[in-house]
Structure 1
């Protein structure tokens, strides 16, 4: 089993989403001795944001990197994304990764009936952290909804969210959120 593990938090070791994503990967490795993990730390090794030159294939170095990123995504059986909420959305580094994997003819195609994902057959885990409490289907959540949409657009419909929210609202709430998330991770 191939696991693509992506972290995007700018908070380093203090990051809740990193703690959760690492715990998910550890659980997967415990359950699947054959698990091979490919790790991307988008805060430490950022991907250039999409530009016209990159989009049009005029930057050879970035084109090669884009192909590598797409192949990592396509090759993965499981994708684990550590995603902290920043200002109601994703980190710009994670958005840059999304822009690189969302490529017509590679991860989706257009048909007369609309777009069809080409990267299906995998599971995705979103390790979501939020400083406040938003719950599911919040009108100000552009984090989890966007990730589920992107995964679905590329054909990945088996998406599980493991969420810790309220982590900046005091130690008691953070501890409870982390304990609840870790219980869900242990059930993987």
Structure 2
């Protein structure tokens, strides 16, 4: 009789598989990554991987979902307590803890581009893309609206428009970064421009 595996142990195994998958997708890209690559990187058998994920699509969707949930599930109040201002919460939501413009881009960006562009006619992938956009959009709108209530923002545009502009700008840079070299797109400079535009558009009270 096989010993029972605790839920905590299962979650740790799944987390380890996602960590290995992130490394592999970042290294090879979505199209060139295989489930065998992930098995070898994680040091598990075929059964050990397929016990948790049905196929490569399922694995990649779980990976990007898990990374977005880390941000989405954090309450705005908790982020405010940590960051000190709604402006810093907003910057952290798309720049990470450093809240600084750099030439670094999410290593998964090329794989995400391949996944969603090649799957643009796949209803399941389209629905996943819509869900990701909706989550990011709603969180951004909520941050802006809370900043307005706190007297920190006096926006020149509707929060909904500002939120969509942020997401479109970030997604556009990610797409260019996946296709072009960093010197061509000047990621750091464009991000600094976005930050300046947001500060003006939101009417950030210093």
Q: Which has the higher strand share?
A: 1
Scaled to the shorter chain, the TM-score interval is under 0.3
TM-score scaled by structure 1? 0.25
TM-score normalised according to structure 2 size: 0.23
